[in-house]
């Protein structure tokens, strides 16, 4: 379905070497995504080029922040981005996929089984999972590719990260105006801003003029998150940090 040579080249540009077997896994993932998308709303991007670039390559930008043997949680994972591509490319990483919608997790369970991936799915809202003893401050990396503002994402995601670990948010250019508030929120939550990595990925591999911008914003966990956080969703929405 997908152009495997194209994905291999884009991954290599990110320092990620994909084997033939891994490329087959990516291809099967794309097939399952399109098949299940006919039954439920998983993504608006179903063309092969779009999947390779806006889903797979975009997700693999996270790999640079995931150390060998790390534990990773994808908060509000949706159709599995960015965590499933990372799990395919990095079989050394133990991945937890957290989402509040059961039918999305049913899809992800099917993907995990079909691709034989070392992933666990968890059905929970982020603000509840963040207080679970099994999940709170248990992960080397938390990530999210959600549309929420960055300070809000910090409150949802930082509680999952153990001291010395990182929260990496995959955001767009709009994040610039959110950074100051996010830095203050992170400090309250026991984390510190570490990086704002800007990347550009061509949308059409046959034309250089069109690109999309990805910003990977990194916060390091420096101290335990106070027990009051994350707050209930209604309080977060009413009064963001």
Terminal CA-CA length for the chain: 44
Distance, CA of 76 to CA of 98 (rounded, Å): 6
Task: Convert the pLDDT of each residue in 57-107 to its tens digit.
Answer: 999 999 999 999 999 999 999 999 999 999 999 999 999 999 999 999 999
103 in a structural domain: yes
> Residue 219 in contact with residue 204, Cβ under 8 Å?
no
1 in a structural domain: no
151 in a structural domain: yes
Judged against a pLDDT cut of 90, whether residue 205 lies above it is answered with no
13 in a structural domain: no
pLDDT at position 135 is 98
Give the up-direction half-sphere exposure of residue 26: CA atoms within 13 A in the CB hemisphere.
32
pLDDT at position 66 is 98
Spell out the residues 6+ positions from residue 117 whose beta carbon is closer than 8 angstroms to its own.
Answer: 84, 87, 88, 91, 95, 111
20 in a structural domain: no
226 in a structural domain: yes
37 in a structural domain: no
Predicted TM-score (pTM) of the model is 0.95
Give the CATH number for residue 96. Answer: 3.40.50.150
Phi-psi group of 228: left, alpha or beta (phi > 0 → left; psi -120 to 50 → alpha; rest → beta): alpha
32 in a structural domain: no
Average pLDDT, the chain: 95
- In the chain, the number of structural domains is 1
**Which domain range does residue 90 map to?**
67-238
Judged against a pLDDT cut of 80, whether residue 207 lies above it is answered with no
């Amino acid at each position: 379905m997908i152009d495997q040579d194209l994905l291999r080249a884009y991954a290599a540009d990110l320092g990620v070497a994909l084997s033939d077997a891994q490329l087959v896994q990516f291809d099967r993932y794309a097939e399952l995504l399109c098949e299940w998308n006919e039954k439920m709303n998983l993504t608006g991007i179903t063309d092969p080029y779009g999947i390779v670039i806006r889903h797979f390559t975009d997700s693999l930008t996270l790999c640079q922040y995931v150390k060998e043997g790390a534990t990773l949680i994808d908060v509000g994972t949706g159709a599995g981005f960015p965590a499933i591509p990372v799990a395919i490319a990095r079989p050394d990483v133990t991945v937890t996929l957290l989402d509040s919608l059961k039918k999305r997790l049913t899809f992800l369970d099917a993907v995990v089984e079909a691709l034989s991936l070392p992933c666990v799915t968890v059905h929970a809202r982020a603000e509840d999972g963040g207080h679970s003893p099994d999940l709170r401050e248990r992960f080397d990396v938390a990530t999210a590719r959600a549309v929420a503002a960055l300070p809000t994402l910090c409150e949802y995601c930082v509680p999952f990260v153990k001291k010395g670990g990182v929260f990496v948010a995959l955001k767009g250019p709009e994040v610039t105006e959110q950074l100051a508030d996010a830095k203050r929120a992170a400090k309250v939550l026991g984390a510190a801003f570490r990086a704002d990595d800007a990347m550009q990925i061509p949308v059409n591999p046959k034309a250089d003029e069109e690109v999309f911008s990805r910003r990977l914003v990194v916060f390091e966990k420096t101290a335990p998150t106070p027990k009051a956080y994350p707050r209930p969703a209604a309080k977060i929405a009413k009064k963001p940090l």
